[in-house]
Amino acid sequence: MTSPAPQVPDSAGIAAGQRPLPPVSQVRPGIWSIPVPLPNTSLRYVLVYVFETDAGPYLVDAGWDTDEAFDTLAAGLAGVGTRIEDVQGVLVTHVHPDHYGLAGRVRAASGAWISLHPADADVLSWLDDADLVRDNLAMLRNAGAPQEVLERQRRRLRALDMFGNSPRPDVLMEDGARPDVPGWELSAIWTPGHSPGHLCFWEPRHRLMLTGDHVLPRITPNVPAPRDDEADPLGDFLRSLDRLAGRGACEVLPAHERRFTDLDGRLEALRHHHDKRFAEVLSALEAGADVAWDVAAHMHWSRPWQQMEGLAQQAAVGEASAHLRALARRGVVREERGEPARWRLMERS
């Protein structure tokens, strides 16, 4: 994936640390939220949602593949009166390792099926053939990153193994699919952007929207650099926000942070956030920046650009590239392909 960082919120302020996880909590009778710890991230945990059925529990998302996460998930399930061995299905919102990573171990322990949208299953397929290090360095080179950054990032990426033993999904979950979770009326909504096959799940009877990383209460999900000349991940992301709009009163069950209620208000705030970003990109181009690296340096991030490095910096450059591509699709800027790609403001008539 061009941006392997599972989640690099650009407005995060949570200090990484030893704060305890929030407790397992009941969302509705028969639905539980289990915080499962993440290694080395300020997000601290992913929220795994459990739907009880007569056949056994079904999960939405699984967690990162660590022993601690597995033990916490197993203990959480035991605490609500079921067992990890009884899990019937794992509906994964997207392929990033903090959501998908642990699904294989849950399947090994229980025989559950694992589902993923086909576009995220494709990500697994091309990861088999592609070299993640090479692809990420190509993205940075295309953005005009300096040579010393490329060298540093090469060493960092080689030390990572984010998708090492990813399981294959058993079920491909298309847009509009009704997952087989007895007693619950879940339907899948394809919301590409944060990943190409990101899914949200809607439960109309209880008016619950499970949003994965697509909509979080406080932070904004990373939108990666376009993978090829055709891709417009930020345009996809903004259209995917519209897909959740206008449902009236509901409760949002995100995969990080906490549950909340004003979905339409949050969708509007996310659109506004990206409008501000577009304005920053245009003023960077007006100031003479013409590669994504320099545009990113002009933008505002949760940390000053000068202090950024590693995956956070790579994610920032990816975001800048995604904004540039979306503006090109709108006819506001022009892309001159090359290494690096150069971006020009279109003449305003």
Q: Please, what is the minimum distance in Å from the beta carbon of residue 62 to Zn ion?
A: 11
Instruction: Give min distance, CB of 293 to Zn ion, in A.
Output: 26
Q: What are the φ and ψ backbone dihedral angles of 315, each rounded to 5 degrees? A: -65, -40
Six-digit token pair at 334? 């022009």
Q: Which two tokens stand for residue 183?
A: 């007693």
Question: What are the CA-CA distances from residue 86 to residues 25, 50, 65, 188, 198 (Å)?
Answer: 20, 12, 19, 23, 26
Judged by beta carbon, residue 102 or residue 327, the one nearer Zn ion is 102
> Nearer Cβ to Zn ion, position 95 or 292?
95
Contact 125, 97 (CB under 8 A): no
Shortest distance, position 255 Cβ to Zn ion, whole Å: 5
198/116 Cα distance (integer angstroms):
8
What does the alpha-carbon distance between residue 250 and residue 262 come to, in Å, rounded to a whole number? 8
Asked if 51 contacts 87 with a C-beta cutoff of 8 angstroms, the reply is no
Cis preceding-peptide flag for 196 (omega within 30 of 0): no
Q: Which is nearer to Zn ion, 98 or 294 (CB)?
A: 98
| Nearest distance from C-beta of residue 120 to Zn ion, angstroms | 13
Give the shortest CB-8-to-Zn ion separation in angstroms. Answer: 10
Residue 212 C-beta: closest distance to Zn ion, Å: 7
Q: Which one, 180 or 257, has the nearer CB to Zn ion?
A: 257
Q: How near is the Cβ of 194 to Zn ion at its closest, in Å?
A: 8
Output 92 or 324, the one with its CB closest to Zn ion: 92
Q: Considering just the CA atoms, what is the radius of gyration of the chain in Å?
A: 20
> Cβ closer to Zn ion: 119 or 327?
119
Minimum Å gap between C-beta 337 and Zn ion is 32
Give the number of other Cβ atoms within 10 Å of residue 49's Cβ.
Answer: 22
The DSSP result for 69-115, as a single string, is HHHHHHHHHHHTT--GGG--EEE-S-SSHHHHTTHHHHHHHH--EEE
CA 247 from chain center: how many Å?
Answer: 22
Residue 309's SS3 state is coil
What DSSP state is assigned to residue 162?
S
Q: Which residue, 120 or 213, is less far from Zn ion as judged by CB?
A: 213
Residue 344 Cβ, how far from Zn ion at the closest point, in Å? 35
Contacts to Zn ion by CB under 5 A: 7, 98, 213
Give the integer Cα–Cα distance in Å for 166 and 220: 26
Closer to Zn ion at the Cβ: 10 or 213? Answer: 213
| Element containing residue 148 per DSSP (H, E) | helix 147-159
State which residue, 45 or 343, has the beta carbon closest to Zn ion: 45
Contact (Cβ atoms closer than 8 angstroms) between residue 75 and residue 65? no
